[in-house]
């Protein structure tokens, strides 16, 4: 007998991108990480509204990889790793 599987949801590239940035920013304090994610989400929303002809993937590509996006907006020196100073 086959086990039922959970329904799949359509891919959401923005959600996936922001989740990847959140993983990259996990060493940041929670308030700073949330600010970073809110800023990125707002940037994406504004760009979509101003340029509806541009594909979402192109907008995300313009932001760079999640690693680059996090580094650009929050340099490593701003990241506090427990036990290190």
- Give the tens place of pLDDT for each residue, 10-42: 689 999 999 999 999 998 899 999 999 999 999
pTM of the model: 0.72
- What is the share, in percent, of the chain residues with pLDDT greater than 70? 75
Mean pLDDT of 66-80: 68
- Asked if the model's pLDDT at residue 71 lies above 60, the reply is yes
**Taking a C-beta distance cutoff of 8 angstroms, is the pair 66, 16 a contact?**
no
Dist. CA 78–CA 12, nearest whole Å: 29
Residue 9 binned pLDDT confidence (cut-offs 50, 70, 90): low
CA distance 26 to 49: 29
């Amino acid at each position: 007998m086959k086990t039922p599987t959970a329904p799949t949801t359509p891919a959401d590239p923005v959600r996936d991108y922001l989740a990847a940035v959140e993983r990259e920013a996990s060493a940041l304090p929670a308030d700073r990480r949330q600010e970073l994610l809110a800023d990125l989400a707002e940037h994406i929303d504004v760009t979509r509204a101003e340029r509806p002809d541009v594909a979402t993937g192109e907008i995300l590509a313009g932001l760079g990889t999640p690693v680059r996006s996090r580094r650009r907006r929050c340099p490593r020196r701003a990241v506090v790793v427990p036990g290190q100073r």
